[in-house]
């Protein structure tokens, strides 16, 4: 007996099927959340993303006019200040988000990759900030570069990552590290969408899962059955 060969699947079809299988539209952009998402601590993830967007926006304006602009014009200095304060806000929100997620043990239920991508994002954001500080072209940049080089040289990283090389540091700061941070944040958010927000700890078996008659569980795709 002979079988007809299976049709060859295109890479495009396979990519689409994998993506849509992992994240159907209703899961990618759900319009409802479990009822336990009921605390202000939950806004610090989106606040971190918002801060990242302000960082990138103000950074884009600074890069329009080049690295020396902000020293010589009021408008340039204004956008440099926004860039600096949005960085402070980013780390402020990210750390509070991290505290919240730790005390919720948000890695439970197969969500360890969510934690891992988040932790790596923080660890990549630190050199992203460092490359910014050494690209300021002022005294602070001179001091930070001549100090940071010792730590980096001691572990051999200084051999290919030279904090006193402004051109290299500016490239890392404007392109390479922001791309890395954005990619990590995207992976982190997609994983949260895939696994859902972590459920609360069970106090005891009786309250483990809500099976209330007044709140019917939604269909598998998580869409609330309401018409607009």
Partner 1 sequence: MTRLSWWPRERETAEWSGGYAPYDLVKELFIAVGVVALLSVLLTVLFSSPDDRPSTVAQWSRGQPVDFIAAAAKELAGTSNTATYGPPYNHNSDGQHAAFLYPQKWLGVSHPINTANDFVIAPLRTVPDNPTLQSAIAQFEAAPEKTKMAWAEAFAKPLEQYEAALEENKAPGKDVSVDPTTGAVTVKASRTGPVPIMMSGLLDLAKSGGLDGSLLTSRQFFQTDYTKPLLFMSDGGLLAQRAEAQHLLGDQWGMMNETGSYPGQTWLWLYTVWYQVEPFKTSENADILVMLVMGVLSLAFICIPFIPGVRSLPRRIPIYRLIWREHYREHQAEA
Partner 2 sequence: MLAAIFNLNHPSHLVHWHFFQMSVANIVVIAVMFVVFALAITLPFPGAARRRGKGS
Which positions from 22 through 51 interact with partner 1, judged by CB under 8 A?
Answer: 29-39, 41, 43, 46-47, 49-51
Q: Are 83 and 62 spatial neighbours (Cβ–Cβ below 8 Å)?
A: yes
Least distance to partner 1, CB of residue 12, Å: 28
Angle in degrees, CA 218, 220, 226, rounded to 5:
35
Stretch that binds partner 1, among 3-11, 19-27, 118-126, 174-182 (CB under 8 A): 118-126
- In Å, what is the CA distance from 51 to each residue of 28, 57, 89? 22, 10, 6
The correct pick among 27, 59, 62, 70 for binding partner 1 (CB under 8 A) is: 70
DSSP element (H, E) containing 69: none
Least distance to partner 2, CB of residue 92, Å: 6
Query: Does 16 engage in binding with partner 2 (CB under 8 A)?
Result: no
Angle in degrees, CA 217, 220, 225, rounded to 5:
55
Q: How many angstroms separate the CA atoms of 115 and 103, rounded?
A: 12
Q: Which does 176 bind (CB under 5 to 8 A by kind): partner 1, partner 2, none?
A: none
Residues that bind partner 2 (CB under 8 A): 35, 38-44, 74-75, 77-78, 88, 92, 95-96, 99-100, 214-216, 226
């Amino acid at each position: 007996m002979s079988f007809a060969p299976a049709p060859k699947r295109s890479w495009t079809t396979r990519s689409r099927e994998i993506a849509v299988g992992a994240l159907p539209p209703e899961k990618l952009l759900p319009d409802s959340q479990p009822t336990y998402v009921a605390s202000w601590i939950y806004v610090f993830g989106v606040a971190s993303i918002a801060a990242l967007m302000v960082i990138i926006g103000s950074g884009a304006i600074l890069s329009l006019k080049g690295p020396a602009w902000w020293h010589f014009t009021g408008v340039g200095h204004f956008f440099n200040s926004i860039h600096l304060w949005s960085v402070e806000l980013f780390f402020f929100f990210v750390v509070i988000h991290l505290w919240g997620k730790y005390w919720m043990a948000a890695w439970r239920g197969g969500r360890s990759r969510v934690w891992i991508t988040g932790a790596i994002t923080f660890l990549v954001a630190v050199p992203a900030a460092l490359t910014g500080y050494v690209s300021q072209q002022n005294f602070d940049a001179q001091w930070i570069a001549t100090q940071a080089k010792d730590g980096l040289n001691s572990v051999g990283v200084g051999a290919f990552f030279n904090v006193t090389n402004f051109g290299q540091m500016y490239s890392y700061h404007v392109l390479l590290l922001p791309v890395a941070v954005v990619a990590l944040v995207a992976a982190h958010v997609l994983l949260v969408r895939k696994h859902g927000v972590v459920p609360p700890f069970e106090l005891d078996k009786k309250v483990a899962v809500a099976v209330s008659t007044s709140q019917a569980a939604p269909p598998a795709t998580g869409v609330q059955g309401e018409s607009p």
